Amino acid sequence: MTHILHIDASARPGIAGTDNHGSHSRHLTYQFVSQWQSGRPQDTVTYRDIGQNPPSIINHDWIASAFTPELSLEPWMKDALAESNQLVDELIAADIVVIGTPLYNFGMPAALKAWIDQVVRAGRTVDIDESNPTDPFIPKLDDRPRHAIILTARGGIGFDPGGEMAHMNHLEPNLATALGFIGITRLHYIAIEGQEVGGEVLETSVVEALGKVEALVADLQEVLMQEAVAESA
């Protein structure tokens, strides 16, 4: 059985095409998860809406606690890390992480950056080998195959690799670095562009993105089926 962690980071609460001023990234994540469950109803989903309920921004107490050995944590330190521990537990439990996020001012929303800061944790998602100062970081989430599905919405166009605006896209590269740092390297990207342009440009992009979501779900489910057959052989 596969477990999905579904994260929405858009500040817009609704779904584009259904709700007034709805979110295009939420539209993509909804399509991915609903299509996934249609094909594999036995799989489970944890949903976290960080766009409407942002994680806490890390502060001095968090930093002091996160770098204190487990056996030395004081009660207030455990309280400071309680939210982080819950978010980390959700991430560790996931086989597939579905992240829906807009491109805000060339990068990720503050809520998504706060989530990243809460889950990139020494001792939880990455180990530090102090005997190897040149390359001390050891990812902990490469213990099994995990996939991250990055579903984005952009106001402009040309932000994909090779596009005229690609050099100004700091969303996907930032996520790839952070997720890869903790061991999640199987990344898949689908984007809607032209939200500010509207009209046929946006309509075409939406149709293409939804088609890519459908194809990706089918491909990943086929991979899981093949892996299950191989394990049982």
Mean pLDDT value of segment 31-55: 97
User: What domains are there in the chain, each with its CATH number?
Assistant: 3-232 (3.40.50.360)
The answer to whether residue 233 scores a pLDDT higher than 80 is no
Binding residues: 10, 23-25
pLDDT grade for 207, boundaries at 50, 70 and 90? very high
User: Percent of the chain at pLDDT above 70?
Assistant: 100
HEC string of the chain equals: CCEEEEEECCCCCCECCCCCCCEHHHHHHHHHHHHHHHHCCCCEEEEEECCCCCCCCCCHHHHHHHCCCHHHCCHHHHHHCHHHHHHHHHHHHCCEEEEEEECECCECCHHHHHHHHHHCCECCCEEECCCCCCCCEEECCCCCCCEEEEEEECCCCCCCCCCCCHHHCCCHHHHHHHHHHCCCCEEEEEEECCCCCCHHHHHHHHHHHHHHHHHHHHHHHHHHHHHHHHHHC
Binding residues for FMN: 10, 23-25
Structure confidence at residue 60 (pLDDT) = 97
In this predicted model, what pLDDT tens digit does every residue of 88-125 receive, in sequence order? 999 999 999 999 999 999 999 999 999 999 999 999 99
In this predicted model, what pLDDT tens digit does every residue of 146-157 receive, in sequence order? 999 999 999 999
